[in-house]
Copies of this chain bind each other. A is one copy, B any other.
């Protein structure tokens, strides 16, 4: 593979068809009749997927290490192997009725970067690594983002090991069973920088007609349970003026969750997803209503402001109606800004390649969120059809799949450096 094939680095392009073919081949493992993939973490199918990807990596000349939580690092040596590697990757486990692209794309895009560098004999200064993290989806074992979470010491290895599925099978047992209980201490693997390519899982890029999302960070999340208490009464004999209808007050507060998000644009999001009405009978005025609130924003300060906003609204509703409202926070995930150098590297790569792009924030969690605690991190989003993911009909256009991988290639080259450039 003569280097004379590439007079200029900026003309380097990945092999669109090879990347697509690898994605489709990996998607055959756990393929569902509706065109999706069911490949739950640490199942036999996960093992088959892992084996396939590692086989491809070895064929590309990479060396492989596995850590104690089953994260797999596939390494292409650089000129100076004392430098920490520039790492990319994602996950290959899927939702129970998942798609072909979520996670899998980020891993195979990383492999395609290496294959492209190999094709053209490009030697990077720093090593390049491709990683896939164990159990990102969290549907068989909680918590989600388990492999990267252990790696970033968000929780302990023992905590992760003890997690059990519905049948009582543990993470540690299943890692052993499928042969992916490695010996490297999680987190001891050096990371110089981290990039992750991923489908957007939302509708913003499609709506704006953009090819590349330059991800500037991940929204912080606050989860609450909210309970409105009224007085259960018979719908017939109770006139309107004498009611204490918990659902009517809850309905107003549900709308205020959205109003609160709209008061905190551009990134504020507010969702009521779950509602439990008691006694939930057609002719009984609801005595209590419990519902979830999901608030998100781009910084912890903004999340805090939304928290204060919705609590103030609830207090005013109680003062007005006399119905007590309890708002209890059940979880919180901090906002995570990505590193300016990595964000800029992604933006520059997109611009240099002539792709339309826009800055976006990720509303959902990714392994990159944990990696951002350890090293300069950036993400690349590509559009997915109708913003749909976690669904067998999840889809992405081949040209977007290729574009995101080209951006990844150039961002990583910039970060890793190329000898003599």
Q: Which residues of A contact B (CB under 8 A)?
A: 200-204, 207, 219, 221, 223, 233-240, 242, 245, 247-248, 251-252, 254-255, 258, 261-262, 265, 268-275, 277, 280-286, 292, 294, 296, 362-365, 387-390
Docked pose: A388 CA to B294 CA in angstroms: 36
Are B252 and A255 in contact, CB atoms less than 8 angstroms apart? yes
Are A221 and B236 in contact, CB atoms less than 8 angstroms apart? yes
Closest approach, in angstroms, between the C-beta of A279 and any C-beta of chain B? 8
Of B265, B281, B364, which contacts A236 at CB under 8 A? Answer: B364
25 contacts between A and B (CB under 8 A): A201-B234, A202-B236, A203-B233, A204-B237, A204-B242, A207-B242, A235-B271, A238-B387, A239-B269, A240-B265, A240-B268, A240-B269, A240-B270, A245-B271, A247-B272, A247-B273, A247-B275, A251-B251, A251-B254, A252-B255, A271-B285, A273-B277, A274-B280, A274-B281, A275-B280
Are A262 and B234 in contact, CB atoms less than 8 angstroms apart? no
Docked pose: A387 CA to B242 CA in angstroms: 10
Chain B residues with CB under 8 A of A285: 271, 273
Q: How many copies of the polypeptide does the oligomer hold?
A: 2
Are B283 and A237 in contact, CB atoms less than 8 angstroms apart? no
Docked pose: A240 CA to B262 CA in angstroms: 7
Chain B residues with CB under 8 A of A274: 277, 280-282
Docked pose: A269 CA to B292 CA in angstroms: 28
Docked pose: A258 CA to B284 CA in angstroms: 14
Chain B residues with CB under 8 A of A292: 282
Most chain B CB atoms below 10 A, which of A200, A251, A252: A251
Of B237, B254, B387, which contacts A247 at CB under 8 A? Answer: B254
Are B275 and A242 in contact, CB atoms less than 8 angstroms apart? no
Of B240, B258, B294, which contacts A258 at CB under 8 A? Answer: B240
Docked pose: A238 CA to B286 CA in angstroms: 31
Of B207, B273, B283, which contacts A286 at CB under 8 A? Answer: B273
Are A277 and B275 in contact, CB atoms less than 8 angstroms apart? yes
Are A364 and B282 in contact, CB atoms less than 8 angstroms apart? no
